[in-house]
Structure 1
């Protein structure tokens, strides 16, 4: 069964962090039991090796050892983070064998702080303190010990080793804890960096959307200017000619009306593209794969010779990717417009093909033998095609081929 991240992280924490009060009680209990055993052993050795007079003299020391040990065992649990309290426990271990387990725990805690000065001070204090206590007890009890084993120097060396071991262990634990903390900080920093990158990506997406709207607006501008030029030309003809037959006047008026209606529709699309999607009330229909066929039919009805070929892909497949369908439709519309402006009467060949992981649109027409005299154009159409393709991660190329054809070719990634 899978566990949630929060439950997994909580279960991986040590018991001291998850239940500090229970941990403090457990540490005090263990130190009390071990200290009591050490005290009983020391008490038995004292009774076994001492005479009645010496026992009477040592009795106050044994009682003091017991009381100090009980107090230290009780206090070792709650004094987990107190420097002064743990130093006091170490001093209690110098004068009390019962308090020695609590003193060892305190040494481990103090070693976790990784202070060389503190470690050296505690080691020296333990060494000289236990040597002094041993000498004082021998002097009070009137016992005489010969040899190296009973000398203050031997006691000091043993005490120094007893202090150094827990301190080194604590230093290792402190180093590990610092390393874990550093790794957690690095992980938190990495999460913050990832969040910043996500925000940056969101900003890039918003910027790309704004650029796409601007590109759409420029693209639509070419279409509107073309339709308005048609209106202006035909309206000018009507204004300058008064000898036109009624049929030609009606045909010209119909052409003006159609061009104005087309320009109005393009203007609505351009204004919609410039608006924020969140501000749109009703969805505006966007071109689809069916729009490509409609564009071809409209061009044919306008008198253009158009040949459309689908290769390796179908309109239904294009319809599954609305962004690609919109882009292909807009680019095809620009190609028809360019052909009508710059090569009127020339045949236009359109190829929409699937080539590996790309969909390619290729529009090609012959160059006219005599270029048109006056062409009203802003020159932003092909620039809009290139920007539209780049926004989708594609490429575009337009220019004259060696066989005197003008070609517009766009390759979009097919995902």
Structure 2
């Protein structure tokens, strides 16, 4: 998962964070490639070490007990320590340990020692910082005892050095905590994204299971009807030709519809997850009763448009349209009580069936009603299985609309 907040600003992140947020091919040795920010930080650390080293070099001639050869060794050691700052990312603890050992021998290496301690505080847990920082403070005691600071008491020198060490450690730990916070927020975003996907998949699976149960019951209904008419022919051999023809037509139509339902069930079961709702449901012909029931419940529902031939709408398409209208009216009653809801159904054979349910924006504050949006996910899945599409979202006026288009061949 990439982080939208930092998309296009990778240069502003540390290399370790970029490697974690935007994983890619590993470099030789497993080290992440430095970003522009890393180069700026590394150069700044090197510059700080050099400046502190130069300031310390100006004070070497004030040490009466320091011979010229020792002064030259001090400065050469400081120069090497400043150059070693460029290795701080690869070996932070090792470089800090070396700097602790070098500090008593070179005053000009003090800046590099502070930079190495800061690096340990940024890249390693606190136990490493405590050991390296504690060893550095003990070495400082030895250093100021061997080479007293000109014009400054021993205790004052030790206190200033301790305060500087604590400040560097605190700054490094603050940078480390900000980096860890960024990574933890990334992990939380990943988990939230995964949980949302799992919830959507679960809702889709439950919707398919419900639809499969509904198809099963409808198919059983068809087969029962077929069996009844076939039995009537068996026990009424003296029936008239008209009655036999009518019963045969009913058997043929029921067999055809049962075959269609069976194909739908197989299509559902062949999908990645099962699908569908549970008992024989009303078809498009029951839409008027649904609107009347909603009005009796206190809703202001307006039914506009009519399909060209509602009786000719296939049963599966009619069930889907009915369920979409039912769920949309339920949502309007929960989330926009008291508003006018317009239900529109249009279409003809060959053109498809268009259904829309639109409500006006609610007046005033609406009480919060718990809901997760799983109903709309189920409707989308239902429309998709019927070979159609479903869209939903707010209108320009501030209301909400559900639009579905279903095939009608």
1:123 Cα shift? Answer: 3.5
What is the alpha-carbon distance in structure 2 between the residues aligned to residue 114 and residue 36 of structure 1? 24
What is the alpha-carbon distance in structure 2 between the residues aligned to residue 191 and residue 101 of structure 1? 45
Does 2:73 align with 1:64? yes
Cα distance 1:123–1:156, how it changes in 2: closer, same or farther (>3 A)? farther
State how 1:106-255 maps to structure 2 within 5 Å. 106-112=116-122, 115-137=125-147, 149-151=152-154, 153-235=155-237, 237=238, 252-255=240-243
Maintained 8 Å contact 2:12/2:37:
no
Partner of 2:112: 102
Give CA-to-partner distance per residue, 1:355-386, whole Å, 9 cap, x none: 956799xxxxxxxxxxxxxxxxxxxxxxxxxx
1:273 Cα shift? Answer: 0.9
Cα distance 1:321–1:205, how it changes in 2: closer, same or farther (>3 A)? farther
Partner of 2:56: 42
Q: How many residues align?
A: 284
What is the alpha-carbon distance in structure 1 between the residues aligned to residue 70 and residue 343 of structure 2? 93
Partner of 2:388: none
1:188 Cα shift? Answer: 1.3
What is the alpha-carbon distance in structure 1 between the residues aligned to residue 269 and residue 127 of structure 2? 68
What is the alpha-carbon distance in structure 1 between the residues aligned to residue 113 and residue 58 of structure 2? 22
Structure 2 residues without counterparts, runs of 5 or longer: 19-32, 271-283, 286-302, 323-339, 346-377, 381-401, 405-409
Rg comparison, structure with higher value? 1
1:264 Cα shift? Answer: 2.1
Maintained 8 Å contact 2:74/2:105:
yes
Maintained 8 Å contact 2:122/2:175:
yes
1:314 Cα shift? Answer: 2.0
State how 1:295-374 maps to structure 2 within 5 Å. 313-316=305-308, 326-327=318-319
Maintained 8 Å contact 1:89/1:103:
yes
1:256 Cα shift? Answer: 0.8
Cα distance 1:131–1:185, how it changes in 2: closer, same or farther (>3 A)? same
What is the alpha-carbon distance in structure 2 between the residues aligned to residue 320 and residue 13 of structure 1? 63
1:127 Cα shift? Answer: 2.7
Does 2:14 align with 1:16? yes
Partner of 2:244: 256
Cα distance 1:262–1:114, how it changes in 2: closer, same or farther (>3 A)? same
Partner of 2:385: none
Structure 1 vs Structure 2 CA RMSD = 4.3
TM-score (norm 2): 0.56
Higher mean C-alpha deviation, range 204-213 or range 13-22: 13-22
